[in-house]
Chains A and B, each alone.
Chain A
């Protein structure tokens, strides 16, 4: 007989070290990508901004524009100084903070509620693991990721001034940790990891809106609304503009309070249970077809994307007039928008580049929706469905219908939103939104092909969407060669509104999307289902 040390009730953290190493090992690809992309975005800013605003006159002009243009402040926030460091903190801060928040919430939910929901937590908890160990390990994993991000930013921007770089790095990590503890609380409240992620993301969205509202009202970030938002704290930390170090204490206090709440909640509930109970469902079902099942499984996500795209359209549409004025005065910025949006009036170019942006994001929707097939198959939920009188094509067709028509729906709603926000040009804007679809569908078709022919590599479709996104976002700003821009299907679309409609490339892309999808389905019909 071996004697096992029994954890005393005091040893609530037993096993944390092991769990942390395990979490970091499971995330060894995900965390470096999130941190790396975020840091790269921030670190590339000084160079980009130097090209945009080179002379003191240009910078003074920018300062003046930001001070007088409320919609621009709502979009990015106020500028506090004219050196490259301060401009970097202005241009990149809020968005890098939001990225750090998303990364953190994903890490924390993945290692807490996801584990409980899948039942894996029971096995872990039955080992030599304290009651608080899992939550602690998840928060520490997020802390590691945020610390690395802070280090990279502080070291990478040191050339612009080490103090400001440190402030920005710590501020980003502060936002990340604030949302990781927020996610830790919400993961205690809900029984579903998806819901926990969604609620935390909603908090992040609210923080963004509060900051935007506050910043549009004041020129120096002093609005109460801005102070209500953690993203506003980041801006009020004022990296590179007489740092207010005490703002970091706000982050520390919020993180401490939220962590304490999460621990308190976690200590009061059973493993796998939550404070918001699951409501019972109907005893008799009405689902009758594979298509209805697919819709039932995907409808929540379609609703979410629809609302998001419509609101994004309204917001960007509303900003169009003001931003176009602002950008129109800056030769370099105008050039970038025209590279993205076409050689026409600056308003049309801005609209076209924003619509193009949403098109790129719609590619993410279509990949996520197509890969539901992969999720259903690998979770073994597809097997009993296919054992009924449902052919593979009918089963896959239901999901693909939602993926492809869903993309059309969200682009249409984005167009309506634009028209509402901008107040004119409904027809041309709708046309511009719909012309994105062939490119979106090509990305979807590639996802189907990967899923049907190389199911093990199906998640590489996310890589395709990511690459397309990167080319579309960063390419024009870096003045990338046409050969690179041509890799993305979005590079071949006519620049609408403003430019002329070109049917040639659109029809070629449509054809390509059909061929890719058909090839993927043919592969699916022939191969073994994953077991």
Chain B
């Protein structure tokens, strides 16, 4: 498989701030790649380097086999981008912006580029697909830019991106303003794009979103890549917090593999117990079996937050030394 994006040892400083500190990133063609990191980790900076808006201080970046700084226009012809914070022109309607972005892919009806395979490639919008997306996202394309809410501005950019005929979609925290229903529409759109063989780089700070959609993820922190691989590879990083109220004392929980930070409390005067524990997500099944033997009255489980994940990741590294 060829790579859609290869980045190695990327450095970028703004004054004294090192936004990128040797970042690596590999995105295979045709995959949905999660780009995870807490706020300020350098996700958006990386994306701006990939778009040729920023020039890296050191390191190499290739997008669709080209240098994004030197060949920006040629690269952009084959990618669509959705920023995390979409700003629109106050006096242009959403529909006008969608069509503008579509046509700008064409370089303004300019020369069309012949690709290696001989296929004709150009941007421009598929009008049927555009109409369908406008409907699915429940967007009113006649409203002027200044009257859209954050979520609706986001939808304008998403419709423009999903309706363009491109090879690579770069989405920078694209769901930050969407409600849960629209997030589902977004996820289905991503699935469809994957089926069409397009590559997607999805930046996010929400682990569950990435788990839902991505084939592989890269996790970055402070401008460096800390983990990269398929979700199965990273399963060891995900731990679920479980809190349960049991009818009786738990049995043998502490001996089960993958259980951490176990705490048991009595509730009231009877046999009831409250159990809190952390469990490696791939060992969840055995823990639930054991809990239900003691009679489960209530159960909550929460997926780990990204920050918890990082904390654990670093603690493990420190312990290993």
Contact = CB atoms under 8 A, between A and B. Distances in A.
Interface string A257-289: 000000000000000000000111111111111
B92 interface: yes
A482 interface: no
19 contacts: A117-B146, A191-B147, A192-B146, A281-B95, A281-B142, A284-B95, A284-B96, A288-B100, A292-B108, A293-B100, A384-B81, A386-B72, A387-B51, A387-B53, A388-B101, A389-B76, A389-B106, A390-B107, A529-B54
Contact of A288 (B73, B77, B88, B108): B108
B283 interface: no
Interface string A341-359: 0000000000000000000
B123 A285 contact: no
Interface of B: 44-45, 48, 51-55, 72-74, 76-77, 79-81, 83, 85-93, 95-101, 103-109, 123, 140-144, 146-147, 157, 170
Interface string A99-129: 0000000000000000001000000000000
Interface of A: 117, 191-192, 278-293, 296-297, 379-381, 383-392, 394, 526-529, 531
B54 A381 contact: no
Main secondary structure of the interface of A (DSSP, over half): loop
Given A281-B93, A288-B109, A388-B104, A383 B146 contact: no
Contacts of A389: 73-74, 76-77, 104-107, 123
Contact of B123 (A281, A388, A526): A388
Contacts of B86: 384
A380 B44 CA distance: 13
A394 B104 CA distance: 11
Given A283-B141, A380-B83, A390 B95 contact: no
B89 A283 contact: no
B135 to A, nearest CB: 12
B144 A278 contact: yes
B51 A386 contact: yes
Nearest to A380: B87
A378 to B, nearest CB: 10
Contacts of A390: 73, 76, 104, 107-108
Contacts of A280: 93, 140, 142-144
Given A288-B103, A385-B104, A526-B55, 19 more contacts: A117-B146, A278-B144, A280-B140, A280-B143, A280-B144, A285-B93, A285-B96, A286-B99, A287-B92, A288-B104, A288-B106, A289-B103, A292-B108, A383-B53, A384-B101, A386-B52, A387-B170, A388-B105, A389-B105
Contacts of B101: 384-385, 388
B95 A283 contact: yes
Kindly name the residue among A286, A297, A383 whose own CB sees the greatest number of chain B CB atoms within 10 A.
A383
Nearest to B12: A528
A383 B83 contact: yes
A184 B16 CA distance: 44
B108 A290 contact: yes
Contacts of B96: 281-282, 284-287
Contact of B54 (A287, A297, A528): A528
A392 B51 CA distance: 12
B14 to A, nearest CB: 8
Nearest to A192: B90
A288 B105 CA distance: 9
B40 to A, nearest CB: 13
Contacts of A279: 144
Nearest to B142: A280
Nearest to B160: A384
Contacts of B95: 281-285
A287 B100 CA distance: 5
Question: When A and B form their complex, which 8 residue pairs have the shortest distance between CB atoms, in order from nearest?
Answer: A281-B93, A285-B96, A289-B108, A285-B99, A388-B104, A288-B103, A387-B81, A280-B142
Given A390-B76, A528-B55, A283 B93 contact: yes
B48 A529 contact: yes
B88 A381 contact: yes
A394 B110 CA distance: 12
Given A290-B104, A297-B89, A531-B48, A386 B98 contact: no
Given A387-B81, A388-B105, A389-B123, A285 B98 contact: yes
A392 B170 CA distance: 20
A86 B3 CA distance: 80
A388 B78 CA distance: 9
Nearest to A528: B54
A529 B83 CA distance: 15
A284 to B, nearest CB: 5
A283 B99 CA distance: 9
A280 B91 CA distance: 10
A419 to B, nearest CB: 34
Contacts of A297: 89
A284 B141 CA distance: 8
A381 B99 contact: no
